[in-house]
A and B are shown apart, each in its own frame.
Chain A
Amino acid sequence: MTSAPPASDSRTFRRAFADLRDGARQRELWGHLAWQDIKQRYRRSVLGPLWITLSMGITALGLGLLYSQLFDAEIGTFLPYITAGFIVWYFILGCLTEGTDTFIANEGLIKHLPAPLSVYVLRTVWRQSIMLAHNMVIYVIVIAIFWGPVTTSGYSITEGGVPQPGLSWSVLLAIPAFVLVAINAGWVVLLFGIASTRFRDIPQVVSSLINLLFFMTPIVWSTDILKDKFGESVGWRDLVAELNPLYHFIQLVRAPLIGNEQSWHHWVVVGAFTIVGWALALLVMRNYRARVSYWV
């Protein structure tokens, strides 16, 4: 042995970044594990992963029919709105609820095979992305059916709502928008995953709040309805949507998908969340990365 022992580098940013870098490099590993998860979940069922698509279709159709009646909306514009919203919501929901479980569920692997923590984060995010891809089939079908109403310039989601430019090539903006949301999913899973491993109440907190969040977020209702109902006196009620970060995440991807006017401020809000979230996640990663294998 040589001179004095070096200081432990367990709690350094260098190791935190190395973990992320090495994890990203093991693309085949997390890609394989994520596919494995999907196949495993629908093992021995006749339709297999088609169930993902099917259940999304049923949900969107059912809720679309019901709420379009409740809100006096045209089914041709409201169903695409609900479908697109739901698809993005399911992705966020999956990342939040399964994110809290990321390391807990992988306890066996973490304790038996050395691998960067980020492998499990990427596994979760990639699995949710695969589910989203399955759900996009429903989006394509719905858009094909309601091609007319959705591409009409000046259509509105509900009667008297804000006129929208209609579906056009700007739909491609949904791709960078989704990439940004997925980047955010990365820090959410990492942060919530590590915190939940230490404090086992967090998954419970998340799952008990998630339903409330769903109804607070304009997914089955729209901001148009708020404005329509309260007119100029919308005031603080508008904040229900604006102060809800999930609204910005959903609207970022949903607006281009159904040809809605995209406000730049959603990009700003989501961009700010990306920076702050990753900064926080990296800090937690630096301090507690090496503790996860002790906590699981």
Chain B
Amino acid sequence: MISIDVWNASVDFPIFDAKTRSLKKRVLGKVGGKIGTDSKVPIIEALHDITLSVKSGDRIGLVGHNGAGKSTLLRLLSGIYEPTRGSARVNGRVAPVFDLGVGMDQEISGYENIMIRGLYLGMTRKQMEKRVDDIADFTELGDYLSMPLRTYSTGMRVRLALGVVTSIDPEILLLDEGIGAVDAAFLNKARDRLVDLVKRSGLLVFASHQDDLLLELCTSAIWMDEGRMKMQGPLREVLTAYKGRDPFHNVSQETLDRLEGAPALSGD
């Protein structure tokens, strides 16, 4: 059963500055006793008391201001961060698409990147070799795939990462807002593939600031604010509350046409 359950989870980041991160404090600090707050590592409370249950079939949009905890929540759901308080359980194969500028060695080629990402997502080399052509086709990167990653633009990285995750049928798909960096033409193509993928596979959590993408991919939403879940419910309601107006006012006619029968509308 594909699911993510989180109970009263909090994520606190310890911030070690150059002094507290060293042994010096620990070893030398013994002499003369503790100096008030200096012995404590300052903490950033990124997520407070999150309780969440996501089951297969759920398609959740994450909205909220910058720094509200959307990306941290995605990392919590992926299992990268285990909660510092409370608990979390992730069942299923997770495919995350997070910040695309970092994480990978900048000197490796696009092909290598495809291979490594695939291996991380639980594929074997053989399975990935079969998919490489398909991914190359989809991403339209052509000869660029043999170039080192540092020559890629943000949009090209997104193409690559989306190409990999959409080719392997993940059970849990976690997308961070970065995927908005691709151009309109590719977005259309990727959208079809993502919609298709979401239908087949279990579960999607998608952080985004783009209403039309959220409307197409998600059915419900969570509004994050200062590390807390401020609101959880049907997408349209949450978006209306978050933005202060109905999201459908801003959507273009073309998108509306495509959205006919899309999950967000049929729910209302």
Q: Do A and B come from one complex?
A: yes
C-alpha spacing A109/B117, complex, angstroms: 10
- A32: nearest chain-B partner, CB-CB: B119
Interface membership of B23, Cβ < 8 A: yes
Digitize B180-194: 1 where CB-to-A-CB distance is under 8 Å, 0 elsewhere: 000000000000000
B14 touches A199 (CB 8 A): no
Interface membership of A10, Cβ < 8 A: yes
Given contacts A111-B75, A290-B82, contact A5 B8 (CB under 8 A): yes
* Option from B5, B7, B21, B87 in Cβ contact (under 8 Å) with A10: B87
A32 touches B116 (CB 8 A): yes
- A113: nearest chain-B partner, CB-CB: B120
Given contacts A6-B89, A115-B120, contact A40 B103 (CB under 8 A): no
Interface membership of B222, Cβ < 8 A: no
C-alpha spacing A36/B119, complex, angstroms: 13
A40 touches B104 (CB 8 A): no
Interface membership of A114, Cβ < 8 A: yes
- B100: nearest chain-A partner, CB-CB: A112
Interface membership of A108, Cβ < 8 A: yes
A32 touches B115 (CB 8 A): yes
- Which of A6, A7, A112, A198 counts the most chain B CB atoms within 10 A? A112
Stretch from B105-113, B134-142, B202-210, B243-251 forming part of the interface with A: B105-113
CB-CB < 8 A to B98: which residues of A?
111-112
Interface membership of B227, Cβ < 8 A: no
- Can you give 29 contacting A-B residue pairs, CB < 8 Å? A5-B7, A5-B86, A5-B87, A9-B87, A10-B82, A10-B83, A26-B119, A28-B119, A32-B115, A32-B116, A32-B119, A32-B125, A36-B112, A40-B105, A108-B102, A108-B103, A112-B80, A112-B98, A112-B99, A113-B80, A113-B120, A114-B78, A114-B94, A198-B21, A199-B23, A202-B23, A293-B80, A294-B14, A294-B84
